[in-house]
Amino acid sequence: MNILVTGASGFLGGKTLEGLISADPKNQIFLLLRGRSFESLSQKYAKITNVACVKGDLTNPDIFDDQEDFRSLKKKITHIIHLGALYDIEASEASLIKVNTIGTQNLLFFANYCEQLESFLYASTIAVSGNHNGPFGEDDFKLGQEFGDYYAYSKYKAEDVVRNWALKNPGIRVDVFRFGIIVGDAVTGEFEKVDGIYYFLKTIVDFENYTSFSLKSPFYPFPFSGHMPLPIVSVDFAKDVILKALEQKKKGIFTYHVLNDDLPTLSEFLEDFFEALGHKTQFKSIPRNFLLDKTLRNGLPILGLPAQLIDYMYINTNFIKVNCTKYLEIKVPSYQDMKKTLFEKAIERFKKEDPSIGPKTIETINSIAQFVRRHL
């Protein structure tokens, strides 16, 4: 195989690249990289003979900085793994559309010229479901959903581009991976940056480490939808799904909801994390309303959390997943088997880091906590 990979500098991309390198030394792997990522990965893989770094940028129509790379690779590439994206729910609409949607269009433009292309593997997200309520299957896509942030919208538009391209190219296998909220490695607990569900975990540890606010209450009211499973996936399972799909030969478009088994609700997840901190508690759902929305959109940034998180806290989508087992015959790991490792690693790391909440916020929280203790 001659494989072009985008997004190799990211968390999932790095894991996938390591898997590709160890899978078969005969695979030739080409990494599309820009700027500092090109420099750092060129040095890191300088002695790996089947890995080559190619300078380029998805946001440029020509993709490659050197058109000789375009002419050379269009004759070689047999598989494209597109993991590159701007994953930032606080980024501007223009930035997200440019990278996630137009960047995907540009890559597919190159794919049209690839003379030996067999498959195109694309990293989408379960966020393409938007505000859809109820079951959302792997064959579902356009169900009239709306979007509360531009990240989800840009990925929805990008998946639409990929699906339309697949219909026009029936001789190419297209795999669409709708990844859940990616968490750390199930074996080591390792994770890269504080985003997704780690926003909440970091804030909780900061409260315990840097404020006098007690985490020992028997229950907490919390703004979330209390009954839907939290759609998370460990990075190692996400990587395994990509590598398994790469081996498949049957043509067509295949969509996967890539999630772990035995998923908790958000309240169960937070209760499990509190237990890892040594506290036994329960979280009670606060129903969503206009006043709460306004309060949270103003208050979440004060705690170092993106205001856009509110839409994910009230997710009411039930993601149906069968295709990883049906088409890839891959065992889906359980959340219950990895939660201890994930939480221990997060707690260990966050206790060493500076708080995400500012000193004035800490001072205010401590004043409130002191007032409560005096009057209760």
Mean of pLDDT values over 239-245: 96
Q: Where are the domains of the chain?
A: 2-182+231-258, 185-230+262-315+335-375
Evaluate if residue 376 carries a pLDDT over 50.
no
Long-range residue pairs from 70-74, CB within 8 A, at least 24 positions apart, any chain: 70/110, 70/113, 73/4, 73/30, 73/114, 74/110, 74/113, 74/114, 74/115
Tens digit of pLDDT for each residue in 87-144? Answer: 888 899 999 999 999 999 999 999 999 999 999 999 999 999 999 999 999 999 999 9
State both tokens at 94: 């223009």
What are the distances in angstroms from CA 213 to CA 169, 206, 305? 58, 10, 18
Indicate the average pLDDT of the chain: 90
Distances 352 to 141, 183, 191, 362 between C-alpha atoms, Å: 42, 19, 15, 17
pLDDT at 363 > cutoff 80: no
Residue with tokens 């579902």: 140
Q: Which residue carries 């390792």 as its tokens? A: 190
Of 216, 220, 208, give the one whose Cα is nearest residue 355: 208
Q: State the average pLDDT over residues 294-318.
A: 81
Please enumerate in sequence order all residues whose Cβ is within 8 A of that of 222, keeping only pairs 6 or more positions apart, or say none: 267, 270, 283, 284, 285, 286
Q: What would the pLDDT profile of 173-195 be if each residue is shown by its tens digit?
A: 999 999 999 999 999 999 988 88
Can you give the pLDDT at residue 360? 65
Task: Using DSSP, state whether 60 is helix, strand or coil.
Answer: coil
| Helices and strands (DSSP H and E) totals, the chain | 14, 13
pLDDT at 370: 59
Instruction: Report the length, in residues, of the chain.
Output: 376
Task: Find the mean pLDDT for residues 283-293.
Answer: 85
Point out which residues pair with 134 in neighbouring strands.
317
Q: Are 108 and 165 in contact (CB under 8 A)?
A: yes
Per residue in 28-55, pLDDT (tens digit) is 999 999 888 999 998 998 888 899 999 9
pLDDT tier for residue 214 given thresholds of 50, 70 and 90 = low
Query: How many percent of the chain have pLDDT more than 70?
Result: 94
54 vs 235: CA distance, rounded Å: 25
| DSSP 8-state assignment for residue 265 | B
The region of weakest confidence among 25-39, 129-143, 278-292, 325-339 is: 278-292
Candidates 121, 107, 75; CA nearest to 248 is: 121
Q: How far apart are CA 320 and CA 247, in angstroms?
A: 24
CB 258 within 8 A of CB 241: yes
What is the structure's pLDDT at 372?
Answer: 45
With cut-offs at 50, 70 and 90, classify the pLDDT of residue 349.
Answer: very high
Q: What is the spatial distance between Cα 257 and Cα 207, in angstroms, rounded to a whole number?
A: 34
Residue-wise DSSP of 136-161: E-TT---SS---SSHHHHHHHHHHHH
Tokens of 26: 């005969």
Distance of CA 155 to CAs 107, 162, 169, 244, Å?
A: 15, 10, 21, 23
Higher pLDDT, 355 or 198: 198
Coil, helix or strand at residue 242: helix
Give yes or no for residue 312 having a pLDDT over 90. no
In the CATH hierarchy, which top-level class contains the domain 2-182+231-258? alpha beta
CA neighbor of 116 nearest in space, from 257, 212, 2, 13: 2
Identify which of 103, 120, 113 has the alpha carbon closest to the alpha carbon of residue 61.
103
pTM for the structure as a whole: 0.91
